[in-house]
Amino acid sequence: MMLEWIYWSISWILLRWHVLWDAILPGREFLATTWEWVLAIVFLVITVRALLFPVFVKQIRSQRAMQALQPQMKALQEKHKGDRETLQKEMMELYRKEKANPLMGCLPMFVQIPVFLGLFHVLKRLSPTNPNTELYGWTTEQFKSATAAKLFGAPLPGSFSSPEALLVSLGSTSLNTKIVAAVCVLIMMATTYLSSRQMILKTGWNADPQQRMIQKLMLYGIPLGLLVSGWAFPLGVILYWVTNNLFTLGQQQWVLRKYPPPVTEGSTPMKRTKTGADGKSGAAKATKSGLFGKTKADTEPSNAKPVVESKALAPKPGAKPVNPKKGGTAKK
């Protein structure tokens, strides 16, 4: 199968973390939770996100490139207002000329889809009735341990839609599993929404209608889709998704605070620049530096004439007055 190597890779990383946490927390349960398997899934997320960090860098660079094009995109919209076909052609030409890829912002999500499917497949096969216990490098003991693992009394391989007979064989009840699964699905939806909202609030809505539609899809469409599809997700997969969202929120907060996005006229909302007493904005030139394009304010030299104090031009006490027409002293 095409995804066979994904199943083996996910299993290998998950089992390595389980071996580590099982050595630290051997068979200990707290709050009806098997922490060695829960922490193995959490650190599976951390491992995957560390491997995908270069992809995250490309995503940030692409978002900054797209944001820098906002004024030009807005001008094209005004120029070709009502002519959608011509507008799309001009937009594509602008992307090609400036070497910007609007789809690069979704790249981390697309890359993580195989990982999500791999973990979904691995956890779905955890069942007491599955005779093939040593698939993808698992031992029989590890298979049985993962099958019996629980999160607040609900089995990690179980889901909201799992039949009651299966949940009983996994050592749980239908009511307990449904309550835990429902709460986890709501947390998954909320964190997915917050991670998209966080980025949009900092960078603003895109001026390109197509990109704005993608932003709305990620902000509203994906969380609503999880409400429909989340009932079939195993609890271990939901745990992976929630941990991944929390990691994304922290990572985006750090990047946006340390490397704030540049302010452009085409994005909304737009930060206002401070104005001086004359009503003109202060002159500051943004220069890019660092991995993510950190902005630094380099104050431009002012062309205004130096102010000369009037006290310096006044005659000293006791000095003879000067005739400005003759350039000498005035006659008494």
For residue 82, name the pLDDT band (cuts at 50, 70, 90): confident
Query: By CB neighbour count within 10 A (0-12 exposed, 13-18 middle, 19+ buried), where does 72 fall?
Result: middle
Please write the tens of the pLDDT for every residue from 6-22: 999 999 999 999 999 99
Please write the tens of the pLDDT for every residue from 182-191: 999 999 999 9
Angle between helix axes 70-79 and 84-98 (nearest 10 degrees) is 150
**pTM score, two decimals?**
0.71
pLDDT at 96: 81
pLDDT at 7: 94
For residue 101, name the pLDDT band (cuts at 50, 70, 90): confident
Please write the tens of the pLDDT for every residue from 256-300: 787 676 655 544 543 434 444 444 444 334 344 444 444 444 434
Please write the tens of the pLDDT for every residue from 187-228: 999 999 998 888 777 767 766 677 788 788 888 988 998 988
Say if strands 29-30 and 33-34 run parallel, antiparallel, or are unpaired. Answer: antiparallel
Let me know: does 208 contact 133? Beta carbons within 8 Å. no
For residue 176, name the pLDDT band (cuts at 50, 70, 90): very high
